């Protein structure tokens, strides 16, 4: 690893000790400088142009390319703070970042959820994926969950809840449904009694890593004959709330979104009013069509 990248990684970890950003940004920078085969001071605007073309030739998504560009840009902004004569930032937003239209969240069909949970036989893993599905937790939030974050025996007027360390070190409360509570309690009953505060442990008794959670889900998906990502479980949590008629402002708080606009995208994947309008219109249109001699 380049010395500058190592310093950048340590700086990110000091600023956000529990965030996964240092891992992702460092991996992006390793990939970029390995491809470029030159140091930070030798990177130019045209180097970034060529890197974008390289990523696109490999079929990388727009979101992936833009994240890598954000990693590089953040790295050079760090160099401005770290040195007396830093190199110019080669990432120019108006030139390099790729425009992408609004993409709707991809949720999971309920039938596929039943197939997935039908093969998740480990109490630990069932608790992990149930917290994603019923509480909307991100994979990093499951990874960060500690025993001190659990509030499982509240007063009669309150629900069991979790204190969640979200993105950018923001906190929120996640309430536990009956299914989530039962799954989490089943894991805690058999969790090894080892030193450390992590709720979810690997086979060595250490905190289970986010990558491990994703790899495990992939194995269960292959057994179930479906393909589901961790974040799709969070999307499905939001879709279920929309379908249950929960106000969008409450959904925003439960998901930990800073901007209401982010939450509103979920309204488009299950908009009851639009569905009802469409169904009523089609009944009228098709009735007129059949009345005019159209085929059934």
Q: What is the structure's pLDDT at 213?
A: 96
Q: Which helix (H) or strand (E) holds 174?
A: strand 171-175
Q: What is the structure's pLDDT at 172?
A: 93
How do residues 82-132 score in pLDDT, each as one tens digit? 888 899 999 999 999 998 777 778 889 999 999 999 999 999 999 999 999
Task: Report in angstroms the alpha-carbon separations of 206 from 24, 111, 144, 157, 193.
Answer: 21, 34, 12, 35, 12
Q: What is the structure's pLDDT at 57?
A: 95
User: Can you read off the two tokens belonging to residue 47?
Assistant: 């180097």
The overall average pLDDT reported for the chain is: 91
**Per-domain boundaries in the chain:** 3-96, 110-269
**What topology does CATH give the domain 3-96?**
DNA polymerase; domain 1 (1.10.150)
Q: What is the structure's pLDDT at 139?
A: 94
Catalytic residue among 13, 67, 231, 240: 231
Q: What is the structure's pLDDT at 63?
A: 87
Q: In the structure, what pLDDT confidence band is assigned to residue 267 with cuts at 50, 70 and 90? A: confident
Please calculate the CA angle 115-190-111 and round it to the nearest 5 degrees: 10
Tell me how far apart the alpha carbons of residues 15 and 289 are, in angstroms, rounded to a whole number.
64
Q: Residue 295 above 80 pLDDT?
A: no
Q: What is the structure's pLDDT at 291?
A: 61
Tell me whether residue 220 is one of the annotated catalytic residues. Answer: no
Catalytic residue among 73, 138, 143, 239: 138
Q: Residue 289 above 80 pLDDT?
A: no
Tell me how far apart the alpha carbons of residues 184 and 195 are, in angstroms, rounded to a whole number.
19
Strand order from edge to edge, sheet including 161-165: 150-151, 161-165, 171-175
Q: In the structure, what pLDDT confidence band is assigned to residue 263 with cuts at 50, 70 and 90? A: confident
Contacts of 109 (CB under 8 A, 6+ apart): none
Catalytic residue among 257, 261, 283, 296: 257
Q: What is the structure's pLDDT at 261?
A: 84
Tell me how far apart the alpha carbons of residues 281 and 184 are, in angstroms, rounded to a whole number.
46
Segment 227-241 shows an average pLDDT of 94
Catalytic residue among 115, 167, 191, 209: 167
Lowest mean pLDDT among 79-83, 230-234, 275-279: 275-279
Q: What is the structure's pLDDT at 195?
A: 81
User: Can you read off the two tokens belonging to residue 59?
Assistant: 């079929």
Instruction: Decide: 39 and 2 in contact? Cβ < 8 Å.
Output: yes
CATH of domain 110-269: 1.10.443.10
Q: What is the structure's pLDDT at 294?
A: 53
Tell me how far apart the alpha carbons of residues 269 and 260 are, in angstroms, rounded to a whole number.
16
> In residues, how long is the chain?
296
How do residues 140-199 score in pLDDT, each as one tens digit? 999 999 999 999 998 888 899 999 988 877 889 999 999 999 999 999 999 999 888 999
Q: Residue 75 above 70 pLDDT?
A: yes
CB burial of residue 192 (10 Å; 0-12, 13-18, 19+)? exposed
Catalytic residue among 134, 234, 235, 239: 234
The percentage of the chain sitting over the pLDDT mark of 70, rounded to a whole number, equals 97
How many CA atoms lie within 13 Å of 195's alpha carbon, on the beta-carbon side?
0
Segment 244-259 shows an average pLDDT of 90
Instruction: Decide: 254 and 241 in contact? Cβ < 8 Å.
Output: yes
How do residues 11-48 score in pLDDT, each as one tens digit? 999 988 877 788 889 999 999 999 999 999 999 999 99
165: which strand partners? 171
Tell me whether residue 191 is one of the annotated catalytic residues. Answer: no
Q: Which helix (H) or strand (E) holds 281?
A: helix 272-291
Q: pTM of the full predicted structure? A: 0.76
Segment 65-82 shows an average pLDDT of 95
Tell me whether residue 231 is one of the annotated catalytic residues. Answer: yes
Q: In the structure, what pLDDT confidence band is assigned to residue 293 with cuts at 50, 70 and 90? A: low
Tell me whether residue 24 is one of the annotated catalytic residues. Answer: no
């Amino acid at each position: 690893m380049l010395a500058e990248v190592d310093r950048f990684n340590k700086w990110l970890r000091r600023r956000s000790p529990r965030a996964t950003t240092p891992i992702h940004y460092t991996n992006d920078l390793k990939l970029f400088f390995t491809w470029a085969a030159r140091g930070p001071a030798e990177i130019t605007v045209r180097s970034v142009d060529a890197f974008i073309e390289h990523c696109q030739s490999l079929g990388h998504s727009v979101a992936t390319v833009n994240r890598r560009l954000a990693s590089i840009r953040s790295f050079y902004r760090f160099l401005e703070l770290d040195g007396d004569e830093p190199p110019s930032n080669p990432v120019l937003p108006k030139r390099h970042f790729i425009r992408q239209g609004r993409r709707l969240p991809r949720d999971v069909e309920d039938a596929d959820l039943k197939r997935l949970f039908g093969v998740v036989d480990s109490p630990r893993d069932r608790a992990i994926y149930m917290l994603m599905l019923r509480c909307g937790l991100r994979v990093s939030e499951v990874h960060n969950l500690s025993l001190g974050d659990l509030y499982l025996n509240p007063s009669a007027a309150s629900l069991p809840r979790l204190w969640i360390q979200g993105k950018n070190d923001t906190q929120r409360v996640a309430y536990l449904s009956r299914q989530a509570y039962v799954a989490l309690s089943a894991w805690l009953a058999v969790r090894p009694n080892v030193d450390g505060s992590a709720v979810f442990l690997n086979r060595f008794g250490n905190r289970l890593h986010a990558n491990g959670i994703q790899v495990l889900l992939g194995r269960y998906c292959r057994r179930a004959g479906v393909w589901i990502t961790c974040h799709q479980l969070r999307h499905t949590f939001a879709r279920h709330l929309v379908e249950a008629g929960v106000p969008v402002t409450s959904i925003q708080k439960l998901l930990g979104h800073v901007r209401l606009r982010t939450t509103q995208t979920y309204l488009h994947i299950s908009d009851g009013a639009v569905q009802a309008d469409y169904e009523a219109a089609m009944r009228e249109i098709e009735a007129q069509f059949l009345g005019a001699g159209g085929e059934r």
